[in-house]
Structure 1
Amino acid sequence: MLSLAGARAVTVRHPDQLDDLDGVVLPGGESTTIGKMLERYGLLEPVRARLRGGLPALGTCAGAILMGSDALHADGTPSEQPLLGVMDTVTRRNAFGRQVASFEGLLDIDGVPAPPLRAAFIRAPWFERIGDGVEALARVDTPAGARVVVARQGHLLAAAFHPELTGDPRLHALFVEIVRAQQS
């Protein structure tokens, strides 16, 4: 998706590789496992430091959870998992339900040109709370009310869905714009 948005992607496996990056994408997957792997390979603290120092980041699904200051399980109890803690957000894991409750929907996202973006929510989180310095860029209606699913805090962009699964590069293009703005 990044190449479709005009950027080149590289895989990072070691902390010293962070020095040459203009931005970082924290992908979907299982957030607890990703956090533990970041710890195991000595990347959690260096990534946290780079993001706090202004390196732009896009977190999708599990990546959005990792970027937050706190995470909750689906039942609302605190999740004791490694987090980067770089965004003033609280995410609720598996907020929409189990795998069987996964869905696709159309989202109007502030900063992403029309038409609405098709988004794949797979065991997706939502943002239970966002801080004063965080912008809600998109919401999804639920029986309990509208829930924030895309948030931005300066150079940090987080989405509760998997934009790579639909073939639409517009969210990644927004991220590339954030990276370029940070460089100028």
Structure 2
Amino acid sequence: MKKIGVLALQGAFNEHIEIIKSLGHEGIEIRKPEQLNNLDGIILPGGESTAMGKLLDDFQIKETLVNKINNGLPVWGTCAGMILLAKNIGEKEEAHLKVMDINVKRNAYGSQLDSFVIEENVPEISENPIPLVFIRAPYIEKVGNGVEILKEIDGKIVAAKQNNMLVTSFHPELTDDSAVHRYFVNNFFN
């Protein structure tokens, strides 16, 4: 059984915890830096990246989280979580954790009204098509060395991995499909 934290400052953390538990693992809400100790991995959920970035500072979690990720803690960022992990965001915006060598465009698919769901094959993750939920989603504009692209849609990168880090533009936690959660657990943990 893995002990997987979910950053629980804002956003869709409960949904991730429920899926983790359904897979037979322990899901823990993370709100304090000391809760990052003894985790097997952590998920940074969707939500509002600017608010989450500020709360990481306010709750004094940022520095500890960066150190843990840089020292190999498996991390998966969905939507806003992807933005938090990116080294660069757009042109003028200050990045948050700056641990993954990707450039991300925020709200790349438009407003809440432009949200959509599609079913697509993501061969690395599942043999069958999986539902991809995009809500005010970002996408990756550029990847650095060592970043492996897992999925592109219309020429835009929506899933990638680098070392101990996984990112998705979409929200697997908002579907009944646990393929991406299983992929994270089965491929990023020792």
User: Considering the TM-score relative to the shorter chain, is it more than 0.5?
Assistant: yes
1:114 Cα offset (Å)? 2.0
- Tell me which residue corresponds to 1:7: 25
Please list the CA deviations of residues 105-159 of structure 1 after superposition, one character each: whole Å capped at 9, or x if unmatched: 1222232122111011000000011112000001111xxxx11100100110000
Residue 130 in 1 paired to residue 143 in 2?
yes
1:17 Cα offset (Å)? 1.2
Match of 2:74 among 35, 53, 56: 56
Q: Provide the identity percentage.
A: 40
Residue 25 in 1 paired to residue 43 in 2?
yes
Structure 2, unaligned stretches of length 5 or more?
Answer: 1-18
1:52 Cα offset (Å)? 0.4
CA–CA distance in structure 1, aligned partners of residues 41 and 21 of structure 2: 14
1:4 Cα offset (Å)? 2.8
1:20 match: secondary structure: coil
1:20 Cα offset (Å)? 1.3
CA–CA distance in structure 2, aligned partners of residues 160 and 15 of structure 1: 26
CA–CA distance in structure 2, aligned partners of residues 110 and 69 of structure 1: 26
CA-based RMSD: 1.2
Count residues in correspondence.
172
CA–CA distance in structure 2, aligned partners of residues 122 and 23 of structure 1: 25
CA–CA distance in structure 2, aligned partners of residues 178 and 7 of structure 1: 15
CA–CA distance in structure 2, aligned partners of residues 162 and 92 of structure 1: 16
Please list the CA deviations of residues 50-108 of structure 1 after superposition, one character each: whole Å capped at 9, or x if unmatched: 00000000100000010010112xxxx3223x511110001100101111111111222
1:38 Cα offset (Å)? 0.4
CA–CA distance in structure 2, aligned partners of residues 42 and 102 of structure 1: 32
CA–CA distance in structure 2, aligned partners of residues 178 and 40 of structure 1: 32
Residue 166 in 1 paired to residue 181 in 2?
no
Residue 148 in 1 paired to residue 166 in 2?
no
- Compare relative contact order (CA 8 Å, sep 6+) and give the higher one, 1 or 2: 1
Structure 1, unaligned stretches of length 5 or more?
Answer: none
1:6 match: secondary structure: coil
Residue 43 in 1 paired to residue 61 in 2?
yes
After the TM superposition, which segments of 4 or more aligned residues of structure 1 sit over 4 Å from their partners?
A: none
1:178 Cα offset (Å)? 2.6
Normalising by the residue count of structure 1, what TM-score does the alignment of the two structures yield? 0.89
